Amino acid sequence: MVKDEEHLRLLAMFHYIYGALVAVLSSFGLIHLIMGIMMLRNPNMFPMPVPSGPGTAPFPFNPAYMFIIIGGMVVALGWTVGTLSIISGRCISFRRGRTFSMVIAGINCLWVPFGTIIGVFTLVVLLRQSVVGIYEYNRQQARTY
């Protein structure tokens, strides 16, 4: 039981660290987002090549939109995954939301290599029968209040 409590404490701490790391690193997508906005607001800053010769078509779209969409998606996805990982760490520290933490662990497995490591370890610990008992005990205690 002491080993399980220690593993859960470490998992919660690693979820906090991992969530913050993902949120901070995904903020680099803001550079692309800002660059795309700058390209839209001042088209002369990044001039587009002019088509030369007969039969050549102009560029089919403004690449600024690509910068905005991809940068925005990176930031939104990273901040979402980071926030959900921090919430999962909070759930683990309070011994609540075991299913939520397992779903987030599965999502984290997609983020190679650190997300995979923390996701697999989270699933291994949360699927132990003794840890299921700890969560069930906490759920029973919450009902009595």
Domain that holds residue 109: 2-43+63-144
Q: Decide if 100 is inside a domain.
A: yes
Residue 122 CB-density burial (10 A; 0-12 exposed, 13-18 middle, 19+ buried)? buried
Q: Decide if 109 is inside a domain.
A: yes
Query: What angle (nearest 5°) sits at the alpha carbon of residue 4, between those of residues 2 and 8?
Result: 120
Q: Decide if 83 is inside a domain.
A: yes
Closest alpha carbon to 9 in 87, 66, 94: 94
User: How many domains in the chain?
Assistant: 1
Locate the DSSP E strands across the chain.
none
pLDDT at 62: 80
Residues 6+ apart with CB under 8 A from 98: 91, 126, 131, 132, 135
Distance of CA 111 to the CA centre of its chain: 8
Residues 6+ apart with CB under 8 A from 64: 36, 37, 39, 40, 46
Q: Decide if 14 is inside a domain.
A: yes
pLDDT at 66: 93
pLDDT at 143: 77
Q: Decide if 74 is inside a domain.
A: yes
Profile the chain (145 residues) by mean pLDDT over runs of 10 residues: 92 97 96 93 79 70 89 97 97 95 96 94 96 91 75
pLDDT at 61: 77
Q: Decide if 53 is inside a domain.
A: no
pTM over 0.75: yes
Name the one residue in this structure whose structure tokens are 């002019």.
Answer: 50
pLDDT at 145: 64
| Three-state DSSP state, 55 | coil
Closest alpha carbon to 122 in 2, 3, 8: 8
